[in-house]
Amino acid sequence: MKPIVFISYAGESLEEAKWIHWYLHDILHWNVHNYTVSSSRYPGSAPDALESELHTSDLFIQILKTKLGASAAWTSDVPILRWEFENFQNNHPNETSRYLLLNFQNGDDATKKYISDVSSFVNPKTPACLQEMLADVMNFSTQQQSRYGELVGGFLDFKSEMELLDIRKALAKNRLAKSDVIMDQKHLYASPYAAQLWIDLTTSNKMSPLKIVYDRYPFDNDIGRMPKVALEAKKSIDKWINEFKSGVAPLELNVIVLGGGDGIRKLKTCKWLHKECDVASINALLVDISPDLLAVAAERFKNSQVTGTNTSFAIIDIEQRPKAIREVRQRMMPPGPGLFMFLGPTLCNVTGASFLEDLQKHSMESGDLMFCEVLLCDTPTVQQGKNAGDDSRFDFITNPLLTLSIVPERKCFFEEMTVDSSGNLQSHVWYYKTGADRYNLATVMAAHRTHWQEAFKDAGFDVLDIQEHEYKVQNKKIKFGYVIAKKP
Ligand SMILES: C[S@@+](CC[C@H](N)C(=O)[O-])C[C@H]1O[C@@H](n2cnc3c(N)ncnc32)[C@H](O)[C@@H]1O
């Protein structure tokens, strides 16, 4: 079942309304009530026609710019946008998930008051199914030179969202194919709840090895003497920067952060580049699939000394739409060398075979640099199906199961290590449901240095350097690699 959407807007937002109509109707194939301006829209009785559309709509999108529209006798002198909101609300009094408010600019006082009146009613969360649309809405508002493209609300709890959520579709599809269901790693981040779990895992959960690793990140001005890994990486980055410097003119660097999460280590790296690598200024473009993580990262960057107002952001699925990264960059950043940062090490979770090549070919410009964090392994050992009971990652890794109405239990949570013929280690976290059903919720690959070297080379990169850095975590050593590779 496709939802029927009502787009509420004043005449000044016709362009945005057309655009959103196009996206929902032509791309998502949702049913959208006619959106043309009111005089031609309702030649007969406007109130009756409007009321009937509002009554038959499942979802309500309102576009706000500066005005709430005219009032009329039949609206009891209430501005038309407020009237539409209240009318729809009367039909769905307790269902906040049906509202999406797109607020493009600071409006007049009446609009501001209206926003504060309605925002408690509007669901402050953002659903996965609308991420692409929101990315485009953001791009659109940037194109219109609107400094302010805010999104309030979402359809998170709406029933048909379950059908729309990619994760459910993907899992259901795979499920028909075979009993082992492999989930794309991106689904781990598909909800505001998931985003919070990820932040907990990396910044506040003291039991989490990831937090320990993240706290000791070596590309950080505040940790005293520069560790060897940073000293060596600096040499390769400096060499690359020097190719672009004309005379003594300082370099303006474009940093494109892929899957930046909450942005904490990306901002540290930007500050480090600024201080250590003779970079005069940095423009940052943050790209992520999770609007919630992106919002945290964008806030962090916007409040920073390094990039400040030169920060832009976009919600893009980098696996599905690598070209969009280049398009957004061209729109939002000045021409000039770009340093792509891909940490996490998210590359170790991505299973798409052509992912690196797609990035190289479609997302990057010639001469751009990739700074990528990967996991390295020395002597991997196979471990079959170990119960992963008190694993600090439990909540985070199992959270997508909730969308399948499965409430995860620890006893069904297993970890397995396999080693391929080249000696690379794969860690799989499985969730066993009933009988033969099992979901592979997270895959992490730790590989030999030569594997990463070849992977980047095969994808068309010139590998300039791979630096190794060992983290000590609860008596264990975890080795990371920092690949520095250039698009020729
Ligand atoms: C392992 S986390 C790494 C976060 C951050 N880079 C760090 O170092 O902590 C993966 C990040 O990539 C994002 N992500 C995963 N798949 C993605 C995709 N297909 N497109 C865009 N972002 C994605 C997630 O939302 C998350 O922020």
Which ligand 1 atom sits nearest the alpha carbon of residue 320?
Answer: 19
**Do 308 and 371 fall within a single domain?**
yes
The secondary element (H helix, E strand) that includes residue 483 is: strand 476-486
- Strand order across the 425-432 sheet: 180-182, 438-446, 425-432, 413-419, 383-387
The Cβ of residue 339 has, within 10 Å, a number of other Cβ atoms equal to 23
Which one is predicted more confidently, 367 or 146?
A: 367
**Do 272 and 232 fall within a single domain?**
yes
pLDDT level of residue 30 (50, 70, 90 thresholds): confident
Q: Distance, CA 358 to ligand 1 centroid (Å)? A: 17
**Do 224 and 345 fall within a single domain?**
yes
How, if at all, do strands 476-486 and 369-376 pair? antiparallel
Which ligand 1 atom sits nearest the alpha carbon of residue 260?
Answer: 6
Considering 164, 188, 219, which residue would you say is the last residue of a domain? Answer: 164
Spatial CB neighbours of 68, under 8 Å, sequence gap ≥ 6: 10, 79, 80, 81, 82, 107, 110, 111, 114
Q: Tell me if 156 sits within 8 A of 126, measured CB to CB.
A: yes
- Picking from 135, 99, 128, the residue whose alpha carbon sits closest to that of residue 8 is 99
Mutation test of ligand 1: which of 199, 257, 289, 429 has the most ligand atoms closer than 8 Å to its C-beta? 289
Q: Report how far apart, in Å, the C-alpha atoms of 395 and of each of 195, 199, 399, 400 are.
A: 11, 12, 6, 10
The Cβ of residue 467 has, within 10 Å, a number of other Cβ atoms equal to 20
Phi and psi at residue 285, to the nearest 5°: -120, 120
60's tokens: 């309500």
Q: Distance, CA 341 to ligand 1 centroid (Å)? A: 11
Pocket of ligand 1 (CB under 6 A): 185-186, 189, 202, 259-261, 265, 288-290, 293, 317-319, 343-344, 346
pLDDT level of residue 31 (50, 70, 90 thresholds): confident
**Per-residue pLDDT, 327:** 81
Segments forming the whole domain that contains residue 225:
209-377+447-486
Which ligand 1 atom sits nearest the alpha carbon of residue 345?
Answer: 1
Cα–Cα distance between 139 and 342 in angstroms, integer? 22
**Per-residue pLDDT, 200:** 95
Average pLDDT over residues 268-272: 96
**Per-residue pLDDT, 104:** 67
- Picking from 344, 368, 362, 387, the residue whose alpha carbon sits closest to that of residue 482 is 344
pLDDT score of 143 more than 60: no
**Per-residue pLDDT, 330:** 84
Q: Distance, CA 217 to ligand 1 centroid (Å)? A: 17
**Do 349 and 460 fall within a single domain?**
yes
The Cβ of residue 207 has, within 10 Å, a number of other Cβ atoms equal to 12
pLDDT score of 301 more than 70: yes
Three-class DSSP category at 95: coil
| Percent of the chain predicted with pLDDT > 90 | 34
pLDDT score of 444 more than 50: yes
Cα–Cα distance between 403 and 237 in angstroms, integer? 43
Q: Distance, CA 158 to ligand 1 centroid (Å)? A: 26
Average pLDDT over residues 195-209: 92
**Do 233 and 286 fall within a single domain?**
yes
**Per-residue pLDDT, 175:** 46
Give pLDDT tens digits for 94-130. Answer: 665 577 777 766 677 887 777 777 765 554 344 444 5
**Do 462 and 441 fall within a single domain?**
no
**Do 241 and 268 fall within a single domain?**
yes
Compute the half-sphere exposure of residue 483: CA atoms within 13 Å on the CB side of its CA: 32
Cα–Cα distance between 265 and 270 in angstroms, integer? 9
Which of 97-111, 167-181, 210-224, 395-409 shows the lowest per-residue confidence on average (mean pLDDT)? 167-181
Angle (CA) 104 340 374, round 5°: 125
**Do 470 and 352 fall within a single domain?**
yes
Q: What CATH number is associated with residue 51?
A: 3.40.50
- Picking from 8, 165, 6, 2, the residue whose alpha carbon sits closest to that of residue 102 is 8
Measured distance between the N- and C-terminal CA atoms of the chain, rounded to whole angstroms: 48
- Picking from 120, 97, 122, 133, the residue whose alpha carbon sits closest to that of residue 21 is 133
**Do 413 and 459 fall within a single domain?**
no
Give pLDDT tens digits for 144-160. Answer: 544 344 444 444 333 33
Which of 150-164, 171-185, 470-484 shows the lowest per-residue confidence on average (mean pLDDT)? 150-164
- Picking from 93, 224, 170, the residue whose alpha carbon sits closest to that of residue 351 is 170
Average pLDDT over residues 407-433: 88
Q: Tell me if 318 sits within 8 A of 325, measured CB to CB.
A: yes
Q: Tell me if 445 sits within 8 A of 375, measured CB to CB.
A: yes
Which one is predicted more confidently, 65 or 276?
A: 276
Which amino acid makes up residue 272? W
**Do 358 and 213 fall within a single domain?**
yes
Which amino acid makes up residue 43? P
Q: What CATH number is associated with residue 465?
A: 3.40.50.150
**Do 383 and 279 fall within a single domain?**
no
Query: What average pLDDT is seen over the chain?
Result: 81
pLDDT level of residue 352 (50, 70, 90 thresholds): confident
Q: Which residue puts its alpha carbon closest to atom 4 of ligand 1?
A: 261
pLDDT score of 307 more than 90: no
Range with the largest mean pLDDT of 55-59, 176-180, 210-214, 431-435: 210-214
**Do 58 and 114 fall within a single domain?**
yes
**Per-residue pLDDT, 396:** 94
Which ligand 1 atom sits nearest the alpha carbon of residue 257?
Answer: 6
Cα–Cα distance between 326 and 333 in angstroms, integer? 10
Give pLDDT tens digits for 309-350. Answer: 788 877 778 888 888 888 878 877 889 999 999 999 999 999
- As for how many domains the chain has, the answer is 3
Which ligand 1 atom sits nearest the alpha carbon of residue 202?
Answer: 9
Considering 164, 196, 230, which residue would you say is the last residue of a domain? Answer: 164
Cα–Cα distance between 34 and 459 in angstroms, integer? 47
